[in-house]
Amino acid sequence: MTVAYGHRTVRWADAKFNRRFGGVAAPPRPELSSREVASKAWKSWLRFLLTYVISVGMIFGLVVLVGTLDKSAPLLVWLHPLTKVLVYSLIWPIATTIWPGKTPEPTKENR
């Protein structure tokens, strides 16, 4: 999690802290087009895929370290829920790609 989400999470927490205790105003939310929303969803899922690959690699590294499948069975049990979460998290990027939301109409400021 630290490799894939660390920098982003620290940036988010710093911004929240500054808004709460530093008196910094919250920036306006950008109006994203449907393509940008789908792109962000896929980037987020790819970041999660990186987390999954690292986790599975560490589990198999520990299995090799332990040596036998009998002793490492409790480690391998974690592969099933990790894989389910990876597959379930794929629903949002697919949904935003197939059924994109409405693109915001340009306002007088954006023209």
70 alpha-carbon distance from chain centroid: 33
Going residue by residue through the chain, which has 111 residues, state the pLDDT in tens, using 9 for 90 and above: 788 888 888 988 988 999 989 888 887 877 778 888 899 999 999 999 999 999 999 999 999 998 888 888 888 999 999 999 999 999 999 999 998 877 667 666 655
CB 38 within 8 A of CB 93: yes
For residue 25, the model assigns a pLDDT of 87
For residue 103, the model assigns a pLDDT of 66
For residue 101, the model assigns a pLDDT of 73
The verdict on pTM exceeding 0.85 is no
**Per the structure block, which two tokens stand in for 104?**
């915001």
3-state secondary structure 47-59: HHHHHHHHHHHHH
Distance CA 37, CA 34 (A): 5
